[in-house]
Amino acid sequence: MLFGPYPNSYAARRLVSLINRLYPLKKCDKMPKKECLYYHIGECLGYCIHKDIDTKDMRNEIISILNGHDEILINKIQEKIKINSDNLNYEVALELKNELDYIKVVFERQKVELNDGINRDIFNYYSENGYISIVVFFLRNGKLVGNKKNIFPLIDDEKETMEYYIVNFYAKKNIAPKEVIVPDNLDLSLLSSVCNTKVLSASKGKKKHLFDLAKTNAKINYKNDLEMQYKTEARTYDACKDLGKLLGIENLSVIESFDNSNLFGSFTVSGMVTFIDGVPSTKDYRKFKISKEQNDDVGSMKEVIYRRYQSVLLNKSRIPDLILVDGGINQINACNSVLNDLNLHIKVCGLAKDDKHSLSELIDGDTLMSYKIDKKSNVFYLLTRISDEVHRFTINYHRQIRSKGSIQSVLDNVQGIGENRRKELIKKFGSLKKMKESTIEDLESVLPKTVAKNLYNYLSSMNSEKE
Protein backbone atom coordinates (compact mmCIF):
# COMPACT_ATOMS: atom_id res chain seq x y z
CA MET A 1 0.00 0.00 0.00
CA LEU A 2 1.49 3.37 -1.06
CA PHE A 3 0.88 6.77 0.56
CA GLY A 4 1.91 10.31 -0.37
CA PRO A 5 3.44 12.11 -2.05
CA TYR A 6 5.14 14.16 0.66
CA PRO A 7 7.37 17.22 0.17
CA ASN A 8 10.45 15.12 1.00
CA SER A 9 11.62 12.07 2.96
CA TYR A 10 11.97 14.18 6.11
CA ALA A 11 8.27 15.10 5.99
CA ALA A 12 7.31 11.45 5.61
CA ARG A 13 9.51 10.35 8.53
CA ARG A 14 8.21 13.20 10.70
CA LEU A 15 4.63 12.15 10.05
CA VAL A 16 5.42 8.52 10.94
CA SER A 17 7.15 9.65 14.13
CA LEU A 18 4.12 11.76 15.10
CA ILE A 19 1.73 8.86 14.49
CA ASN A 20 3.95 6.67 16.66
CA ARG A 21 3.74 9.29 19.37
CA LEU A 22 -0.02 9.70 19.22
CA TYR A 23 -1.02 6.06 18.80
CA PRO A 24 -0.06 3.18 21.12
CA LEU A 25 1.77 1.18 18.46
CA LYS A 26 4.44 -1.44 19.08
CA LYS A 27 7.72 0.40 19.61
CA CYS A 28 10.20 -2.46 20.11
CA ASP A 29 12.13 -4.10 17.26
CA LYS A 30 11.75 -7.51 18.88
CA MET A 31 9.10 -8.97 21.15
CA PRO A 32 10.38 -8.53 24.75
CA LYS A 33 9.45 -10.88 27.56
CA LYS A 34 7.76 -8.19 29.63
CA GLU A 35 6.25 -4.76 29.20
CA CYS A 36 8.61 -1.79 28.74
CA LEU A 37 8.49 1.92 29.58
CA TYR A 38 6.28 2.74 26.56
CA TYR A 39 3.54 0.51 28.06
CA HIS A 40 3.70 2.31 31.40
CA ILE A 41 3.48 5.80 29.85
CA GLY A 42 0.56 4.79 27.64
CA GLU A 43 2.38 4.82 24.26
CA CYS A 44 2.10 1.04 23.74
CA LEU A 45 -0.70 -1.44 24.45
CA GLY A 46 1.71 -4.12 25.65
CA TYR A 47 1.70 -6.42 22.66
CA CYS A 48 4.36 -8.54 24.35
CA ILE A 49 2.07 -9.57 27.22
CA HIS A 50 -1.42 -9.10 25.74
CA LYS A 51 -1.93 -11.33 22.72
CA ASP A 52 -5.54 -10.56 21.74
CA ILE A 53 -5.47 -6.80 21.25
CA ASP A 54 -7.98 -5.48 18.72
CA THR A 55 -6.14 -2.88 16.59
CA LYS A 56 -8.64 -2.70 13.74
CA ASP A 57 -10.04 0.76 14.55
CA MET A 58 -6.59 2.20 15.22
CA ARG A 59 -5.28 0.68 12.00
CA ASN A 60 -8.15 2.15 9.97
CA GLU A 61 -7.60 5.58 11.52
CA ILE A 62 -3.89 5.54 10.68
CA ILE A 63 -4.55 4.43 7.10
CA SER A 64 -7.11 7.23 6.75
CA ILE A 65 -4.53 9.75 7.99
CA LEU A 66 -1.90 8.48 5.54
CA ASN A 67 -4.45 8.73 2.75
CA GLY A 68 -4.86 12.44 3.44
CA HIS A 69 -7.71 12.64 5.96
CA ASP A 70 -5.88 15.13 8.10
CA GLU A 71 -8.87 16.07 10.28
CA ILE A 72 -8.42 12.84 12.29
CA LEU A 73 -4.78 13.63 13.06
CA ILE A 74 -5.44 17.33 13.68
CA ASN A 75 -8.22 16.55 16.13
CA LYS A 76 -6.00 14.06 17.96
CA ILE A 77 -3.13 16.56 18.24
CA GLN A 78 -5.49 19.27 19.48
CA GLU A 79 -6.84 16.85 22.08
CA LYS A 80 -3.29 16.09 23.29
CA ILE A 81 -2.44 19.80 23.38
CA LYS A 82 -5.45 20.48 25.62
CA ILE A 83 -4.62 17.59 27.95
CA ASN A 84 -1.01 18.76 28.36
CA SER A 85 -2.03 22.39 28.80
CA ASP A 86 -4.56 21.45 31.47
CA ASN A 87 -1.81 19.50 33.24
CA LEU A 88 0.57 22.48 32.95
CA ASN A 89 2.88 20.55 30.59
CA TYR A 90 3.41 23.64 28.48
CA GLU A 91 6.65 22.50 26.82
CA VAL A 92 4.98 19.34 25.51
CA ALA A 93 1.94 21.35 24.43
CA LEU A 94 4.20 23.76 22.51
CA GLU A 95 5.99 20.85 20.79
CA LEU A 96 2.64 19.46 19.71
CA LYS A 97 1.53 22.92 18.52
CA ASN A 98 4.62 23.09 16.29
CA GLU A 99 3.86 19.61 14.98
CA LEU A 100 0.30 20.71 14.26
CA ASP A 101 1.49 23.71 12.22
CA TYR A 102 3.92 21.54 10.26
CA ILE A 103 1.43 18.77 9.58
CA LYS A 104 -1.10 21.27 8.19
CA VAL A 105 1.47 22.31 5.58
CA VAL A 106 2.17 18.67 4.65
CA PHE A 107 -1.49 17.83 4.23
CA GLU A 108 -2.19 21.08 2.41
CA ARG A 109 0.16 19.82 -0.25
CA GLN A 110 -1.59 16.45 -0.44
CA LYS A 111 -5.01 18.08 -0.75
CA VAL A 112 -4.18 19.97 -3.91
CA GLU A 113 -3.02 17.02 -5.99
CA LEU A 114 -4.62 16.80 -9.44
CA ASN A 115 -5.56 13.20 -9.92
CA ASP A 116 -5.92 13.43 -13.70
CA GLY A 117 -2.70 11.66 -14.73
CA ILE A 118 -1.37 14.73 -16.58
CA ASN A 119 2.23 15.98 -16.46
CA ARG A 120 2.35 19.73 -15.88
CA ASP A 121 4.60 22.48 -14.54
CA ILE A 122 3.30 25.50 -12.62
CA PHE A 123 5.23 28.80 -12.56
CA ASN A 124 4.57 31.71 -10.23
CA TYR A 125 6.57 34.53 -8.68
CA TYR A 126 6.82 37.19 -6.01
CA SER A 127 8.81 40.41 -6.42
CA GLU A 128 9.88 43.14 -4.03
CA ASN A 129 12.70 45.70 -3.76
CA GLY A 130 14.09 44.97 -7.21
CA TYR A 131 14.29 41.19 -6.71
CA ILE A 132 12.11 38.43 -8.10
CA SER A 133 11.55 35.04 -6.48
CA ILE A 134 10.32 32.32 -8.86
CA VAL A 135 8.91 28.91 -7.95
CA VAL A 136 8.17 26.01 -10.30
CA PHE A 137 5.98 23.10 -9.16
CA PHE A 138 6.45 19.81 -10.99
CA LEU A 139 3.38 17.58 -11.27
CA ARG A 140 3.79 14.15 -12.86
CA ASN A 141 0.80 11.93 -13.45
CA GLY A 142 -1.21 14.52 -11.55
CA LYS A 143 0.99 14.27 -8.43
CA LEU A 144 3.17 17.02 -7.01
CA VAL A 145 6.64 15.47 -7.02
CA GLY A 146 9.01 18.40 -6.56
CA ASN A 147 9.77 22.06 -7.06
CA LYS A 148 12.51 24.48 -8.08
CA LYS A 149 13.14 27.98 -6.73
CA ASN A 150 15.28 30.93 -7.79
CA ILE A 151 15.77 34.48 -6.58
CA PHE A 152 17.69 37.12 -8.52
CA PRO A 153 17.61 40.84 -9.37
CA LEU A 154 14.96 42.01 -11.83
CA ILE A 155 16.43 42.90 -15.23
CA ASP A 156 13.38 43.96 -17.22
CA ASP A 157 9.86 44.25 -15.86
CA GLU A 158 8.24 41.25 -14.16
CA LYS A 159 6.44 40.11 -17.31
CA GLU A 160 9.56 40.02 -19.50
CA THR A 161 11.64 38.44 -16.74
CA MET A 162 9.12 35.63 -16.28
CA GLU A 163 8.79 35.02 -20.02
CA TYR A 164 12.56 34.93 -20.41
CA TYR A 165 12.90 32.57 -17.43
CA ILE A 166 10.29 30.13 -18.76
CA VAL A 167 11.70 30.10 -22.29
CA ASN A 168 15.24 29.63 -21.01
CA PHE A 169 14.03 26.90 -18.61
CA TYR A 170 12.86 24.73 -21.50
CA ALA A 171 15.63 25.79 -23.90
CA LYS A 172 18.06 23.91 -21.68
CA LYS A 173 17.64 20.27 -20.66
CA ASN A 174 14.14 20.49 -19.21
CA ILE A 175 11.49 18.76 -21.32
CA ALA A 176 8.24 20.66 -21.54
CA PRO A 177 5.33 18.64 -20.08
CA LYS A 178 1.89 18.36 -21.64
CA GLU A 179 0.69 21.48 -19.82
CA VAL A 180 2.35 24.58 -18.33
CA ILE A 181 0.46 26.96 -16.03
CA VAL A 182 1.74 30.54 -15.80
CA PRO A 183 0.52 33.97 -14.61
CA ASP A 184 -2.21 35.37 -16.85
CA ASN A 185 -0.28 38.59 -17.58
CA LEU A 186 2.20 36.65 -19.76
CA ASP A 187 1.86 36.11 -23.50
CA LEU A 188 0.33 32.61 -23.44
CA SER A 189 0.18 32.02 -27.21
CA LEU A 190 3.76 33.13 -27.72
CA LEU A 191 5.02 30.93 -24.90
CA SER A 192 3.01 28.00 -26.28
CA SER A 193 4.70 28.44 -29.64
CA VAL A 194 8.20 28.77 -28.21
CA CYS A 195 7.93 25.95 -25.67
CA ASN A 196 5.96 23.75 -28.08
CA THR A 197 3.37 22.79 -25.48
CA LYS A 198 0.06 23.95 -24.04
CA VAL A 199 0.53 27.09 -21.90
CA LEU A 200 -2.43 28.45 -19.95
CA SER A 201 -3.43 30.36 -16.83
CA ALA A 202 -5.51 29.05 -13.94
CA SER A 203 -8.62 30.87 -12.75
CA LYS A 204 -10.42 28.38 -10.51
CA GLY A 205 -10.38 24.97 -8.89
CA LYS A 206 -7.41 22.92 -7.78
CA LYS A 207 -5.15 24.34 -10.49
CA LYS A 208 -5.74 27.83 -9.14
CA HIS A 209 -5.15 26.51 -5.60
CA LEU A 210 -1.77 25.09 -6.63
CA PHE A 211 -0.94 28.23 -8.60
CA ASP A 212 -1.63 30.39 -5.53
CA LEU A 213 0.36 28.00 -3.36
CA ALA A 214 3.34 28.48 -5.71
CA LYS A 215 3.11 32.24 -5.17
CA THR A 216 2.99 31.75 -1.41
CA ASN A 217 6.10 29.57 -1.64
CA ALA A 218 7.81 32.21 -3.79
CA LYS A 219 7.11 34.86 -1.14
CA ILE A 220 8.41 32.62 1.65
CA ASN A 221 11.55 31.84 -0.37
CA TYR A 222 12.08 35.56 -0.95
CA LYS A 223 11.93 36.28 2.78
CA ASN A 224 14.21 33.33 3.63
CA ASP A 225 16.78 33.72 0.85
CA LEU A 226 17.17 37.49 0.61
CA GLU A 227 19.47 37.64 3.62
CA MET A 228 21.77 35.15 1.87
CA GLN A 229 21.55 37.26 -1.27
CA TYR A 230 22.66 40.34 0.67
CA LYS A 231 25.59 38.40 2.16
CA THR A 232 26.58 37.38 -1.35
CA GLU A 233 26.51 40.97 -2.51
CA ALA A 234 28.61 42.05 0.48
CA ARG A 235 31.15 39.47 -0.65
CA THR A 236 31.21 40.98 -4.13
CA TYR A 237 31.78 44.43 -2.63
CA ASP A 238 34.97 43.13 -1.01
CA ALA A 239 35.93 41.49 -4.30
CA CYS A 240 35.51 44.82 -6.09
CA LYS A 241 38.02 46.43 -3.74
CA ASP A 242 40.47 43.53 -4.26
CA LEU A 243 40.14 43.80 -8.04
CA GLY A 244 40.83 47.53 -7.87
CA LYS A 245 44.06 46.89 -5.97
CA LEU A 246 45.13 44.27 -8.53
CA LEU A 247 44.62 46.64 -11.48
CA GLY A 248 45.78 49.80 -9.77
CA ILE A 249 42.34 51.45 -9.89
CA GLU A 250 41.69 53.54 -6.83
CA ASN A 251 38.10 53.35 -5.59
CA LEU A 252 36.93 50.89 -8.26
CA SER A 253 33.15 51.12 -8.24
CA VAL A 254 31.47 51.00 -11.67
CA ILE A 255 32.19 48.09 -14.03
CA GLU A 256 30.59 47.73 -17.46
CA SER A 257 30.93 44.39 -19.23
CA PHE A 258 30.13 43.50 -22.86
CA ASP A 259 29.38 40.27 -24.69
CA ASN A 260 28.48 39.61 -28.32
CA SER A 261 26.21 36.83 -29.46
CA ASN A 262 25.82 35.65 -33.03
CA LEU A 263 22.34 34.25 -33.50
CA PHE A 264 22.02 31.44 -36.03
CA GLY A 265 25.11 32.63 -37.93
CA SER A 266 23.78 35.96 -39.13
CA PHE A 267 21.87 38.12 -36.62
CA THR A 268 24.30 39.65 -34.10
CA VAL A 269 23.43 41.33 -30.82
CA SER A 270 25.46 42.64 -27.93
CA GLY A 271 24.63 43.09 -24.29
CA MET A 272 26.12 45.27 -21.58
CA VAL A 273 25.70 44.76 -17.85
CA THR A 274 26.70 47.18 -15.11
CA PHE A 275 27.97 46.28 -11.64
CA ILE A 276 28.31 48.97 -8.99
CA ASP A 277 30.40 48.06 -5.94
CA GLY A 278 30.13 44.42 -7.00
CA VAL A 279 26.33 44.47 -7.22
CA PRO A 280 24.32 44.27 -10.48
CA SER A 281 22.67 47.56 -11.43
CA THR A 282 19.95 46.23 -13.71
CA LYS A 283 18.54 49.64 -14.58
CA ASP A 284 21.85 50.38 -16.33
CA TYR A 285 21.84 47.24 -18.50
CA ARG A 286 21.79 47.89 -22.26
CA LYS A 287 20.99 45.87 -25.41
CA PHE A 288 22.39 46.53 -28.87
CA LYS A 289 21.42 45.17 -32.27
CA ILE A 290 24.55 45.16 -34.43
CA SER A 291 24.03 46.70 -37.87
CA LYS A 292 26.47 44.43 -39.71
CA GLU A 293 25.13 41.03 -40.70
CA GLN A 294 28.43 39.19 -41.12
CA ASN A 295 30.02 37.21 -38.29
CA ASP A 296 32.69 39.73 -37.25
CA ASP A 297 33.30 39.73 -33.51
CA VAL A 298 35.96 42.45 -33.61
CA GLY A 299 33.81 44.67 -35.86
CA SER A 300 30.84 44.11 -33.56
CA MET A 301 32.92 45.05 -30.54
CA LYS A 302 34.03 48.30 -32.18
CA GLU A 303 30.47 49.19 -33.12
CA VAL A 304 28.96 48.59 -29.70
CA ILE A 305 31.78 50.36 -27.84
CA TYR A 306 31.46 53.37 -30.12
CA ARG A 307 27.67 53.53 -29.76
CA ARG A 308 27.80 53.11 -26.00
CA TYR A 309 30.47 55.69 -25.20
CA GLN A 310 29.53 58.21 -27.84
CA SER A 311 26.14 58.21 -26.11
CA VAL A 312 27.85 58.59 -22.73
CA LEU A 313 29.72 61.66 -24.01
CA LEU A 314 26.69 63.22 -25.69
CA ASN A 315 24.47 62.72 -22.65
CA LYS A 316 27.25 63.49 -20.16
CA SER A 317 26.48 60.21 -18.43
CA ARG A 318 28.56 58.48 -15.79
CA ILE A 319 31.84 57.01 -17.10
CA PRO A 320 32.75 53.55 -15.73
CA ASP A 321 35.97 52.83 -13.85
CA LEU A 322 36.55 49.56 -15.73
CA ILE A 323 35.36 47.93 -18.96
CA LEU A 324 35.40 44.14 -19.25
CA VAL A 325 35.17 42.43 -22.64
CA ASP A 326 34.55 38.76 -23.20
CA GLY A 327 37.64 37.67 -25.10
CA GLY A 328 41.34 38.22 -25.54
CA ILE A 329 43.74 40.71 -27.08
CA ASN A 330 41.76 41.27 -30.30
CA GLN A 331 38.66 42.38 -28.42
CA ILE A 332 40.75 44.52 -26.05
CA ASN A 333 42.50 46.26 -28.96
CA ALA A 334 39.18 46.86 -30.70
CA CYS A 335 37.76 48.46 -27.56
CA ASN A 336 40.86 50.57 -26.89
CA SER A 337 41.02 51.88 -30.47
CA VAL A 338 37.47 53.21 -30.25
CA LEU A 339 38.03 54.75 -26.82
CA ASN A 340 41.16 56.48 -28.13
CA ASP A 341 39.18 57.91 -31.06
CA LEU A 342 36.64 59.25 -28.55
CA ASN A 343 39.46 60.60 -26.38
CA LEU A 344 38.27 58.54 -23.41
CA HIS A 345 40.70 57.01 -20.93
CA ILE A 346 39.02 54.00 -19.33
CA LYS A 347 40.77 50.86 -18.14
CA VAL A 348 39.89 47.85 -20.35
CA CYS A 349 40.44 44.20 -19.39
CA GLY A 350 39.63 40.95 -21.17
CA LEU A 351 38.14 37.81 -19.63
CA ALA A 352 39.85 34.77 -21.13
CA LYS A 353 38.40 31.28 -20.68
CA ASP A 354 39.88 27.80 -20.83
CA ASP A 355 38.74 24.90 -23.01
CA LYS A 356 36.03 24.12 -20.44
CA HIS A 357 34.59 27.67 -20.83
CA SER A 358 35.64 28.51 -17.28
CA LEU A 359 37.26 31.86 -16.50
CA SER A 360 41.02 31.33 -16.45
CA GLU A 361 42.75 34.69 -16.90
CA LEU A 362 42.24 38.42 -16.61
CA ILE A 363 44.14 40.35 -19.31
CA ASP A 364 45.17 43.93 -18.54
CA GLY A 365 44.35 46.08 -21.57
CA ASP A 366 47.17 48.56 -20.87
CA THR A 367 50.08 46.16 -20.34
CA LEU A 368 48.55 43.01 -21.92
CA MET A 369 49.72 41.23 -18.79
CA SER A 370 47.70 38.14 -17.88
CA TYR A 371 46.65 37.50 -14.29
CA LYS A 372 45.89 33.97 -13.19
CA ILE A 373 42.93 34.28 -10.85
CA ASP A 374 42.75 32.05 -7.80
CA LYS A 375 39.51 30.11 -8.20
CA LYS A 376 38.89 30.30 -4.46
CA SER A 377 39.22 34.07 -4.32
CA ASN A 378 36.52 36.72 -4.11
CA VAL A 379 37.88 38.29 -7.32
CA PHE A 380 37.31 35.05 -9.24
CA TYR A 381 33.80 34.86 -7.82
CA LEU A 382 33.02 38.43 -8.93
CA LEU A 383 34.51 38.11 -12.43
CA THR A 384 32.73 34.80 -13.00
CA ARG A 385 29.45 36.32 -11.85
CA ILE A 386 29.88 39.29 -14.21
CA SER A 387 30.82 37.01 -17.12
CA ASP A 388 27.85 34.72 -16.52
CA GLU A 389 25.48 37.65 -16.12
CA VAL A 390 26.48 39.44 -19.31
CA HIS A 391 26.22 36.19 -21.27
CA ARG A 392 22.83 35.42 -19.77
CA PHE A 393 21.62 38.93 -20.46
CA THR A 394 22.83 38.90 -24.06
CA ILE A 395 21.20 35.56 -24.79
CA ASN A 396 18.06 37.18 -23.52
CA TYR A 397 14.32 36.98 -23.65
CA HIS A 398 14.05 38.98 -26.86
CA ARG A 399 16.38 36.67 -28.70
CA GLN A 400 14.61 33.58 -27.43
CA ILE A 401 11.11 34.83 -28.07
CA ARG A 402 11.58 36.75 -31.28
CA SER A 403 14.06 34.46 -33.00
CA LYS A 404 12.36 31.18 -32.20
CA GLY A 405 8.77 32.09 -31.50
CA SER A 406 7.66 34.41 -34.28
CA ILE A 407 7.57 33.58 -38.00
CA GLN A 408 7.73 37.24 -38.91
CA SER A 409 10.78 38.05 -36.79
CA VAL A 410 12.65 34.97 -38.04
CA LEU A 411 11.98 35.83 -41.68
CA ASP A 412 12.93 39.45 -41.08
CA ASN A 413 16.43 38.25 -40.21
CA VAL A 414 16.95 36.64 -43.65
CA GLN A 415 18.38 38.83 -46.40
CA GLY A 416 16.14 39.08 -49.44
CA ILE A 417 12.83 38.48 -47.68
CA GLY A 418 10.57 41.50 -47.51
CA GLU A 419 6.94 41.91 -46.61
CA ASN A 420 5.52 40.40 -49.83
CA ARG A 421 7.76 37.34 -49.83
CA ARG A 422 7.09 36.83 -46.13
CA LYS A 423 3.34 36.79 -46.77
CA GLU A 424 3.77 34.31 -49.63
CA LEU A 425 5.86 31.99 -47.41
CA ILE A 426 3.31 32.10 -44.60
CA LYS A 427 0.48 31.51 -47.08
CA LYS A 428 2.18 28.44 -48.60
CA PHE A 429 3.77 26.79 -45.53
CA GLY A 430 1.60 28.10 -42.70
CA SER A 431 4.13 27.58 -39.89
CA LEU A 432 7.80 27.80 -39.06
CA LYS A 433 7.85 24.06 -38.43
CA LYS A 434 6.73 23.33 -42.01
CA MET A 435 9.40 25.68 -43.38
CA LYS A 436 12.10 23.92 -41.35
CA GLU A 437 10.99 20.58 -42.79
CA SER A 438 11.13 21.88 -46.37
CA THR A 439 13.90 21.38 -48.92
CA ILE A 440 15.59 24.17 -50.86
CA GLU A 441 13.52 23.14 -53.87
CA ASP A 442 10.32 23.54 -51.84
CA LEU A 443 11.36 27.05 -50.80
CA GLU A 444 12.25 27.93 -54.41
CA SER A 445 8.56 27.62 -55.29
CA VAL A 446 8.16 30.97 -53.53
CA LEU A 447 11.65 32.48 -53.42
CA PRO A 448 14.53 33.09 -55.85
CA LYS A 449 17.22 30.43 -55.64
CA THR A 450 19.74 32.52 -53.67
CA VAL A 451 17.16 33.73 -51.15
CA ALA A 452 15.77 30.20 -50.76
CA LYS A 453 19.27 28.97 -49.98
CA ASN A 454 19.75 31.75 -47.40
CA LEU A 455 16.49 30.84 -45.69
CA TYR A 456 17.27 27.11 -45.75
CA ASN A 457 20.69 27.66 -44.14
CA TYR A 458 19.21 30.04 -41.58
CA LEU A 459 16.50 27.58 -40.53
CA SER A 460 19.04 24.74 -40.42
CA SER A 461 21.27 26.76 -38.10
CA MET A 462 18.27 27.36 -35.81
CA ASN A 463 17.81 23.60 -35.46
CA SER A 464 21.46 22.91 -34.70
CA GLU A 465 22.28 25.89 -32.50
CA LYS A 466 23.41 25.22 -28.95
CA GLU A 467 23.90 27.93 -26.42
pLDDT one-digit tens code per residue, 446-461: 899 988 988 888 887 6
Tens-place pLDDT, residues 183-217: 999 989 889 888 889 999 998 888 998 999 899 88
Domains in the chain: ranges and CATH: 9-108 (no CATH), 120-222 (3.30.2170.10), 248-392 (3.30.420.340), 406-464 (1.10.150.20)
Higher per-residue pLDDT: 3 or 151: 151
Q: pTM to 2 decimals?
A: 0.48
Query: How far, in Å, CA of 136 to CA of 122, rounded?
Result: 5
- The pLDDT value recorded for residue 247 is 94
Q: Rounded to an integer, what distance in angstroms lies between the CA atom of residue 97 and that of residue 77?
A: 8
**Across residues 13-26, what is the average pLDDT?**
80
- Would you state the pLDDT for residue 232? 67
Question: For residue 362, what pLDDT is reported?
Answer: 94
Average pLDDT, the chain: 82
The predicted-structure confidence for 233-282, as pLDDT tens digits, reads as follows 667 778 888 999 999 998 999 999 998 876 544 556 788 999 998 888 88
- How far is the C-alpha of 291 from the C-alpha of 272, rounded, in Å? 16
Query: Partners of 134 in the beta sheet?
Result: 125, 150
Is the peptide bond prior to 5 cis by the omega test (within 30 degrees of 0)? yes
443 contacts 435 by C-beta, under 8 angstroms: yes
Residue 398: is its pLDDT beyond 60?
A: no
Residue 136 confidence (pLDDT): 93
What integer pLDDT is reported at residue 404 of this predicted model? 47
Q: Read off the pLDDT of each residue in 76-93 and give the average, rounded to a whole number.
A: 83
The answer to whether the CB of 247 falls within 8 A of the CB of 264 is no
Residues in contact with 81: Cβ distance below 8 Å, sequence separation at least 6, in sequence order: 93, 96, 97, 100
% of the chain with per-residue pLDDT over 70: 83
What's the CA gap between 405 and 176, in Å, rounded? Answer: 15
Asked if 387 and 359 count as a contact pair (C-beta separation under 8 A), the reply is yes
Give 125's pLDDT tier (boundaries 50, 70, 90). very high
